[in-house]
Chain A
Amino acid sequence: MIIRFSRVTEGLALVVALLLATPGLGAGQVASYLDFDGFTRELRAVVGASNLATMESLGTTLGGRNVWMVRVGDPSGAPLDERPGVLVVGNLEGDHLVGSQLALEAIRYLLNNSANEAVKAALSDRVFYFFPRLNPDGAEAMFTPVKMNRRTNTRPWDEDNDGRTDEDGPEDLNGDGYITVMRVPDPAGRYMIDPSDARAMKRADPSKGESGRFTLYWEGTDNDGDGFINEDGPGGVDLDRNFQHAYPYWEGDAGPHMVSEVETRALMDFTLAHRNIAVIITFGETDNLVTPPDAKGVLAGAKVQALPGFADASHAEIFTSGVASRGGGPGRGSGGGRGGGTSDLRGAQPGRDNDPSSGVRPAMTVAPQDQVYFKAVSDAYKRITGIETVPMHRDAKGAFFQYGYFQFGVPSFSTAGWGLPSADAASQPRGRAGAGAGAAVPGAPDESKGDASLLADLERAGIQPFSAWTRYQHPELGALEIGGFLPYVTHNPPADQLPALGLKHGEFLAELAGMLPRVRIARTEVTALGGGVFSITVEVENSGFLPTSLRHGQTSRSVGPTFLQIKVDDDDILSGAAKTTPVGVLAGSGSREEATWVIRGREGATVAIALHSQKSGRDTATIVLK
């Protein structure tokens, strides 16, 4: 017993050392996870040392912390907010600190490598917007004495809807500094030890002759005496489930409604005010970069830890408790003797007989024409970062990057930002095949697989992810064991990997910026038709790789048109294109479109042409009539 305990301690010490390794590796890079103050200091230092970046606070959280936004670009060119923009968001999930550190390192990379050709091009003709730490309140929980994966912000929330808020959270009973899981011997329990790894638990399948022997809870006590353990802990709202696409309605951690939080609203208002944003990438616990959408436009099924889901399920029944049966005695139901179905019940009257199935439905899969671009960006990401497998990724309901494609209409990506060494077993995503963003039941653990293979994957990468089960005498539940996944370890790489990962992600962002659409007036031609009449033809080229709009950007009517405007009086346009004329969607790689006007003018006069694209930049040309 004592020996076993000390082994665990060693394991923990190793993990702590990995997580909090010494800073200073590389060119000022940080190889440790930073709390809000440390992160802010570092961000200020990086931004302050360059004239290519500025930072501002776009909101103050409930905990009084700033939501930082860093704008990166060489201000000497076109106005920054008119250039094609890259929006990068980190740390939407409070426990995904690696996201904010990668954003920080990517900013550093761009600023330190402005001589590099790709970076220079990106800085002079593109703009980057970074929200490195969208959820600073949630992130701060990594630096508290007792750690648990805190994904949400700190909005007080009555999770169990009992009229009291945050009254029954977990406790670190065994004093190891972590909130893990309690497994309680219980003949009526639903769970059994996974035969393939004695640490992992699985749901017993009676049809296979398996019997449950354990009940699982989060570590702690029943503080409010309602019979449920840890059903209403502190906070909050999961910011990456708070956005408008496939929003998980009425699930507590998704917030009271879409974009309900200070943090999400700050991000959304900024995004809407910057329609020049042409690509979005979030560093988070969802993925479509390592595994792009399949041929049906569906994301890979979620791959998550099972054990926390089992512990969450211990209080799933709370909402069926206290529900009175509605049938029964004469005192029940609506009064007046008019039950349902009686003939005097007229009900709401049909009016225009509108078709109940009418109307455009929101798209739920990536359009076939757009899939190739997701694949191309995914290929670039994997080539540059070397990441082939992410440890875990979750269901993307209400995720910001999904909003980015499905409603904002631009290529939009998410990645955990770190990977595991490729192994045959590990490269196969677990979970139901074809279960996409809209298909999986949120919060429901994938019960077909346990955690055994995840444990093996992590250990192969040199990560010790698990606190072994140890005995504990619980005041209410008696003899039980406490153990489980260590907080943060499975969601964040060892800190010594941060500098190298940061570098790779900086490179990737520079390359991604180079892929953005960029339109220019490529050719102009004037023909004098005699009698003061001229024909003007203007050709527009998209020199980027991505098109000026994805197909879904058109379907969703969210990507504005690319249009040409000739600056002459309406009366002088005799024929041809309208004064303001859209040039249609331009595919990338040098695709061209043209417009022709026939105008009346004075020989030798100049005519200005303006090219305006919401996401692909602007251009002007001056033509002499001759």
Chain B
Amino acid sequence: MRSIRILAATSFAALIVTALPAGRSDALLAQQMRGSDPPHTLDLTWDRWLSHEEIGQRMELMAKTWPELLTFSSIGTSYGGRKLWLMTINNPDTGPELGKAGMYIEADVHGNEVQGSEVCLYTIWYLMENYARNPEIKRLVDERVFYIVPTINPDGRDFFLYGTGAAARTGHVPLDSDGDGVFDEDGPDDLNGNGVIEQIRKYVPGEGTHRLHPRDPRIMEAVAPWEKGDWVLLGQEGLDNDGDGLVNEDPPGGYDGNRNYGADWQPEYVQSGSNDYPFRNPESRATQDFFATHPNVAGLQTYHNAAGMILRPPGSAWEGDYPAVDIRVYDEIGEQGERILPWFNYHITWQGLYTIHGGSTDWANDGHGIVAFLNELWNEGQYFQSPLLTGQQEDPRSPITRDRSRFFFDDFLEFGENFVEWAPFDHPQYGKVEMGGWNKFGSRINPRFMSMEVFHRNMAFTLYHADQMPLMRMGETTVESLGGGMYKVRVDIRNERLIPTIMARAVTTKAVRPDILTVEGDVEIVAAGWVQDRNRPGRTDLVDQEKLDRILVRSGHPGRTTRTIEYLVRGTGTMKVTYSTAKGGTVSASVTVR
């Protein structure tokens, strides 16, 4: 009996890098030892919230600066006619785009949740600046393809940035929110022309629902039901624009872009904001069209604000949780995120936040077999980060008690930038009132000076997620002669990373095409089977399929696992074994049978 061991010829044989921290390369060492910090290729600043057009300009600039790796395009057009910019990061020298696992990163589906777009831009910039300097970054870029859509709701973003910031969560397909046959005719109005939609309060001695905070009259405190206050709150600054006797009852849009996806979609009376049918909005539809034509996408991150959460689907508890093997995958990435992102907690969406029917992460997971996370950027805990300060917040005499802390921060760290003082106003419908309150940057969005940390830590988590997408490699092959012209050929097939080629839930929904194991060559396959235990001689699970030169593996290839396929073949010659997956690439090994 003759046994030959050959190293597999893999499509990426040149580059098999083990995960950190083992195996620091010379280049990394050189970088670590470097005395000075070399200048950036593009010296961009990160302390402003950019308009949709500025985002496009930056992306174009980056694409021109790094044309070998970046392609600037769009996945569609918003209702308002703005491009849904897409940056594709792909190194064509390491293989075609669709042959590599894709990481899709988007932000700003809610127009007022702006900072995620900057995280997206920062990610592109960081990967490019460090591609030549940091071998870990180079490896990530070379092994994967990144699809980055910094703003999936550009109408909402510009409405937020250029306008007052009120009613900016929605997309901008007009909706008749009050059912009067006219669309979007009565939204908030900036009556005093200061660029902010303020709150309205009215002084009503002894008849109100609120009183002024004893230590800070800027703060409105609700009184208990059996008490009387001196103030009432009359809602947002606005007018009865359409003369129907109602104020602000039909603002622009009025749906929620993140309830318009096709899994667990529910009608309006069950899930408000879902907008009549899945993918009705041009923005969600563009996403779906993109996924449908990019089956290689294996990971998704959608940046929102604000809570300090790493959320995984499902968005609702109605259908139960995912199969245990899928949960293990989510847990490992989510828990790593809690270490990378202080003040963030990892939750199931419905449990940690609230129930979301028809959200994008559910659709990604169920409809396309994509491991999907939603980060809620920014947590108010980040204002006062030390144990000393959080301790002080419990002391009622402290100026940073929970109810006053935000005012303190605005007064002494942002120099009063965000709070608009209450001021008298003669309202056409409410009479003598006061208007004041936080401007649009006053909550949910991190202070600009803290952006770098928010951006970098969220990027680092998403890159960890991307690194865990399936990555197929061929391992060793062996040929054993059985006599009589028969041979036993074994090929090791390996997924180097955590995420399987097909998630268990996606096997049920048939969202991903099966892995396909093909053989080309001169030999005749008599039987094929999966080796049950590579370390113990014993049983092989026979492949019970008619076509052994094209075996379907519907359950995919698990994460961080080597499986061995064993062929019994008749004849001699070259045998090319190819393992093709939708999300983990395609790898081949050539075996000489003789």
Interfacial residues, chain A to chain B (CB-CB below 8 A)? 158, 161-163, 222, 224-227, 244, 247, 249-250, 252, 256-260, 268, 272, 275, 319, 321-326, 328-336, 338-340, 345-354, 356-362, 406-407, 555-558, 560-561, 563, 565, 570, 573, 578-580, 612, 614
**Contact at B246–A580, with CB atoms within 8 Å?**
yes
Complex Cα spacing A354 to B317, Å: 10
Complex Cα spacing A614 to B317, Å: 35
**Contact at B558–A333, with CB atoms within 8 Å?**
yes
Given A322-B545, A322-B553, A560-B179, the answer on whether A332 and B558 have CB atoms closer than 8 Å is yes
Given A258-B265, A325-B541, the answer on whether A347 and B278 have CB atoms closer than 8 Å is no
Given A319-B554, A322-B545, A348-B352, the answer on whether A359 and B532 have CB atoms closer than 8 Å is no
**Contact at A570–B278, with CB atoms within 8 Å?**
no
Closest to A324 in B: B555
**Contact at A351–B270, with CB atoms within 8 Å?**
no
Q: What chain A residues lie within 8 Å of B328 (beta carbons)?
A: 334, 338-340, 345
Closest to B556 in A: A324
CB of B37 within 8 Å of the partner chain: no
Complex Cα spacing A166 to B494, Å: 31
Closest to B499 in A: A334
**Contact at B498–A258, with CB atoms within 8 Å?**
no
Complex Cα spacing A224 to B277, Å: 37
List 17 other contacts, CB 8 Å, given A323-B554, A348-B312: A161-B554, A225-B547, A257-B262, A260-B279, A319-B554, A324-B553, A332-B561, A334-B498, A346-B331, A352-B352, A352-B354, A353-B351, A354-B351, A354-B355, A557-B269, A558-B268, A614-B179
CB of B452 within 8 Å of the partner chain: no
**Contact at B508–A331, with CB atoms within 8 Å?**
no
Minimum CB–CB distance from A113 to chain B (whole Å) comes to 32
Minimum CB–CB distance from A593 to chain B (whole Å) comes to 17
Complex Cα spacing A595 to B367, Å: 51
Q: What chain A residues lie within 8 Å of B354 (beta carbons)?
A: 352, 354
Closest to B564 in A: A331
One of B240, B355, B513 near A359 (C-beta < 8 A)? B355
Minimum CB–CB distance from B584 to chain A (whole Å) comes to 15
Q: What chain B residues lie within 8 Å of A336 (beta carbons)?
A: 332, 560
Complex Cα spacing A338 to B332, Å: 9
**Contact at B367–A257, with CB atoms within 8 Å?**
yes
* Interface membership of chain B positions 503-517, coded 1 if the CB is closer than 8 angstroms to chain A and 0 otherwise: 000011111011010
Q: What chain A residues lie within 8 Å of B312 (beta carbons)?
A: 348
Q: What chain B residues lie within 8 Å of A323 (beta carbons)?
A: 507, 554-555
Interface residues of B in 318-360 (CB under 8 A from A): 318, 324-325, 327-332, 334-335, 345-348, 350-355
Given A163-B513, A579-B245, the answer on whether A257 and B331 have CB atoms closer than 8 Å is no
Q: What chain B residues lie within 8 Å of A225 (beta carbons)?
A: 546-547
Q: What chain A residues lie within 8 Å of B350 (beta carbons)?
A: 354, 356
Complex Cα spacing A425 to B354, Å: 53
**Contact at B180–A563, with CB atoms within 8 Å?**
yes
CB of B563 within 8 Å of the partner chain: yes
Given A257-B288, A348-B334, A351-B347, the answer on whether A163 and B530 have CB atoms closer than 8 Å is no
One of A163, A351, A361 near B516 (C-beta < 8 A)? A163
CB of B47 within 8 Å of the partner chain: no
Q: What chain A residues lie within 8 Å of B355 (beta carbons)?
A: 354, 358-359
Q: What chain A residues lie within 8 Å of B547 (beta carbons)?
A: 224-227
**Contact at B179–A258, with CB atoms within 8 Å?**
no
Complex Cα spacing A135 to B278, Å: 21
**Contact at B563–A570, with CB atoms within 8 Å?**
no
**Contact at B267–A244, with CB atoms within 8 Å?**
yes
CB of B276 within 8 Å of the partner chain: yes
Minimum CB–CB distance from B191 to chain A (whole Å) comes to 16
Complex Cα spacing A268 to B277, Å: 9
Cross-chain pairs A/B with CB under 8 angstroms, 21 sampled:
A249-B509, A256-B367, A257-B367, A321-B552, A324-B530, A324-B555, A328-B533, A335-B560, A335-B561, A340-B324, A340-B328, A351-B345, A351-B353, A356-B350, A359-B270, A362-B269, A406-B267, A556-B269, A558-B267, A560-B181, A561-B179
Complex Cα spacing A336 to B496, Å: 12
Complex Cα spacing A360 to B545, Å: 46
One of A275, A333, A350 near B347 (C-beta < 8 A)? A350
**Contact at A258–B507, with CB atoms within 8 Å?**
no
Q: 7 nearest interchain CB pairs? A: A351-B352, A335-B560, A356-B317, A257-B262, A560-B179, A579-B245, A329-B533
Given A249-B509, A323-B554, the answer on whether A348 and B346 have CB atoms closer than 8 Å is yes
Complex Cα spacing A351 to B310, Å: 11
One of A260, A348, A565 near B244 (C-beta < 8 A)? A565
**Contact at A349–B346, with CB atoms within 8 Å?**
yes
